[in-house]
Amino acid sequence: MGEFVWDGKTYEGNHLPIVSRELWDKAQAVLDGRYANRNRKPKRDFAFAGLIRCGHCGCSMVAEIKKSRYVYYHCSRAKGKCPEPYTREEVLEERFAELLDRLRFDDEVLAWVSQALRVSHGDEKQHHEDAIRRIQAEYNRLQNRIDAMYVDKLDGRVDTGFFDRKAEEWRDEQGKCLALIREHQDANQTYLDESIRLLELAQKAGSLFRKQSPAEKRRLLGFVLSNCTWKEGKLVAEYRQPFDLLAKNVVAFEEKKRVEGPRTRISDIWLPGTGSNRRPSD
């Protein structure tokens, strides 16, 4: 991944990385698990395996069982000694739940976002309809070419071989047009449904997380969060799109409403913006 260790210290190499850091860390986590378990089949599924990196050195956080019942996570120490102490799984679980809880919003926010979605869906629908009209016009233009050349072939102005080659070429282009039309039709039909499902997931993410199995917890976190790091009791993560915008504006709205009171409208702050979307939980 572009680094090497010499005499206990890590250096940036001059060679080009062969694998990404993410792939490297996953491989180290697998190897650490093998060594820890001595090739025995693990007794349980660890909820956060492969999701967290150490905030000190960037290595994967791996899990192991203590006293046959308690799960602790610690840095894999693939780069050598690391000051990060062991952490109970329950502590990490609560920190993740706090991050997911930040996606929860009240009825006022839900009503505003639902209205925004309907407006957005209207714009999205118009976009797809315009695209379909353009593509259909191109399809018709190609068909007119084929028809005109067919007449030329019948009148002897174009030989059969040339007609067959050009007609096949244009029909291939027509096939691509039809595929694009289907994509726009499908996107138009699913846009609003998918948006509503994402809202429902965001609204219930925290409560769902607390009730799920370890495998489902890991799946939910992988869908909503990325780049999770743990350092000295603090979990930092990035929300994936579109949850990043949702979390950012829900927090901003609640803070603005707390300061300014009933005068605050969600539309005052619900705007795409720049800036970091990393959210610490401590």
Span 63-82, pLDDT tens digits: 999 888 899 999 999 999 99
pLDDT for the residue 246:
75
Q: Are residues 147 and 276 in the same domain?
A: yes
If you average pLDDT over every residue of the chain, what do you get?
A: 79
Q: Are residues 81 and 159 in the same domain?
A: no
Q: Are residues 176 and 270 in the same domain?
A: yes
Give yes or no for residue 17 having a pLDDT over 90. Answer: no
In a domain, 98, yes or no: no
- Give the confidence band of 4 by pLDDT, cuts at 50, 70, 90: low
Residue 107 tokens, joined = 């009825």
Give yes or no for residue 89 having a pLDDT over 90. Answer: yes
pLDDT for the residue 55:
94
> What pLDDT digit, counting tens, does each position of 176-221 carry?
999 998 888 776 656 556 666 777 778 788 888 998 888 889 988 9
Determine how β-strand 225-231 pairs with β-strand 52-54.
Answer: parallel
Backbone angles phi, psi at 275, to 5 degrees: 115, 170
Count of domains forming the chain: 2
Q: Are residues 55 and 172 in the same domain?
A: no
Q: Please, which residues have CB within 8 angstroms of residue 130's CB and are 6 or more apart in sequence?
A: none
Q: Which residue range is the domain that position 34 belongs to?
A: 3-85
Q: Are residues 50 and 127 in the same domain?
A: no
Q: Are residues 185 and 123 in the same domain?
A: yes
pLDDT for the residue 52:
95
pLDDT for the residue 49:
87
Neighbours of 59 (CB within 10 A): 23
Q: Are residues 43 and 173 in the same domain?
A: no
- Give the confidence band of 36 by pLDDT, cuts at 50, 70, 90: low
Query: Residue holding tokens 């694998």?
Result: 19
In a domain, 27, yes or no: yes
**Of 34, 55, 85, which closes a domain?**
85
Q: Are residues 249 and 115 in the same domain?
A: yes
Q: Are residues 243 and 207 in the same domain?
A: yes
pLDDT for the residue 5:
67
d(CA 74, CA 32): 11
Give yes or no for residue 243 having a pLDDT over 90. Answer: no
**Of 85, 120, 154, which closes a domain?**
85
In a domain, 193, yes or no: yes
Q: Are residues 260 and 145 in the same domain?
A: yes
**Of 24, 51, 85, which closes a domain?**
85
d(CA 262, CA 244): 25
Determine how β-strand 3-6 pairs with β-strand 70-75.
Answer: unpaired
> What pLDDT digit, counting tens, does each position of 148-160 carry?
999 999 999 989 9
d(CA 33, CA 24): 14
In a domain, 29, yes or no: yes
In a domain, 102, yes or no: no
In a domain, 241, yes or no: yes
Give yes or no for residue 37 having a pLDDT over 70. Answer: no
In a domain, 244, yes or no: yes
Give percent of the chain above pLDDT 90: 36
Q: Are residues 16 and 147 in the same domain?
A: no
pLDDT for the residue 127:
78
- Give the confidence band of 275 by pLDDT, cuts at 50, 70, 90: very low
Q: Are residues 242 and 149 in the same domain?
A: yes
pLDDT for the residue 247:
76
Long-range contacts of residues 209-217, Cβ cutoff 8 Å, at least 24 apart: 209/96, 209/97, 209/100, 210/93, 210/97, 213/45, 214/44, 214/45, 214/46, 214/47, 215/45, 215/47, 217/47, 217/48, 217/93, 217/96
pLDDT for the residue 42:
47
In a domain, 40, yes or no: yes
Contact 196, 117 (CB under 8 A): yes
